[in-house]
Each structure stands twice: as structure tokens, then as C-alpha cells.
Amino acid sequence: MKGAPRPSFHPPDLLRPSPAAAEEEEQKFFDRPCYEFNRQLATASNDKWCEHCRHYLTARCPHIDEFLDDVEDLSPE
């Protein structure tokens, strides 16, 4: 081996949200006042996440626009 090893450099990931922003985004779909458990699921699934709500991704969901916006963010351009 000749010389000292060069330290590796990894540029910051500019597309990754900050931990605080990621946590806020995650909490956006948890324990809403409109949450109503989907009884077709096992009782153990009642954790107050929107994906276990009776109105999840239906026309009865008062926040369906937020879910659709979230999905649109994932679609390729």
C-alpha cells in the first residue's frame, strides 16, 4: 500500500426529507378525528392509522385529496 487511504466522500442526499419533516409527514395519516376502524380487519390492527380506517381511499373519506396528492408525488414524470 502506498500513501494514506483517501476518505470516502458521499454528497448529501438533497432529495431526502429531514428527519423532522419525515416524521411530520408520517404523522399526517395517524389518529385523525374522523378515524373509524374497519371492522373487517383483525382487532389487533386497530392502531388508528388511516390505512385501517373504514373510509380509507373511499369517497367517504373527508381527506381523500391528501391521499391522492401523496400518491401523485410518487408517480414517475
**More reliable by pLDDT, 10 or 6:** 6
> Please, where are the H alpha helices in 1-77?
19-27, 64-72
pLDDT score for 35: 96
Q: What's the whole-model pTM score? A: 0.58
30-76 pLDDT, tens digit per residue, is 999 999 999 999 999 999 999 999 999 899 999 898 888 766 665 56
The DSSP code sequence of 28-68 is: TTBS-TT--B-TTS-GGG-S-BGGGBTTTTSTT-TTHHHHH
